[in-house]
Amino acid sequence: MCLGVPMQIQSIEGFQAHCEAKGIERDVSLFMIQDVEVRPGDYVLVHVGYAIQKLEPEEAAATWQVLDELFESTELEEAEGRGPTDGSGGERLR
């Protein structure tokens, strides 16, 4: 859970940002980074629905590269029938 997912801010309303990553859209709270100036187009690291820090675009891209590899191997493992049989824990952003 402490890995965090980089997302790009689409729009901001108060402490709520509408964010996007890999075609998936989520509302993300900016409550914890209210001291930090962010605007649409910026990247943030999202942890359980909260932005915990602002990210440089290169850092966001590099982190996604790692996440892609991790998710790929997890999916492969589950496809092999060795992963959990129930998808209840699978609400992670994919």
Partner 1 sequence: MSDAKAREWIDAIHQLDLPARVRVMNVCGGHERTLSMAGIRSVLPKNVEIIPGPGCPVCVCPEEDLYLAIQIALHRDATVMTFGDMLRVPTNVPRREVRTLEQARAAGAGVVPIASPSEVWEAAMQNPGERFVFFAAGFETTMAPVAARIAEGLPENVDLLISGRRTWPAVATLLEGDRAAFDGLIAPGHVAAVMGPEEWLFVSERHRIPTAVSGFRPDQLLSALHSVLRQLVEGRPVLENCYAHAVPAGGNGQARRLLDTVFEIVDAPWRGIGTLPASGYALRPNYAARDARVLHADLADESRKRMGEMPAGCGCADVVLGRIYPTECALYGTTCVPRSPVGPCMVSDEGACRIWWAGGIRSPEDLRTLHA
Q: Rounded to 5 degrees, what are φ and ψ at 54? A: -85, 145
Residues in the chain: 94
Q: Residue 18's beta-bridge partner residues? A: 11, 27
Q: How far is the CB of 6 from partner 1 (least distance, A)?
A: 11
Binders in 39-78 for partner 1, by CB under 8 A: 45, 47-50, 52-53, 55-56, 59, 62-63, 65-66, 69-70, 73-74, 77
Give the binding-site size for partner 1 (rule: CB under 8 A).
42
89 near partner 1, judged by CB under 8 A:
yes
Angstrom distance (rounded) from CA 11 to CA 5: 18
Angstrom distance (rounded) from CA 2 to CA 22: 20
Q: Which residues bind partner 1 (CB under 8 A)?
A: 1-4, 27, 29, 31-35, 45, 47-50, 52-53, 55-56, 59, 62-63, 65-66, 69-70, 73-74, 77, 81-86, 88-93
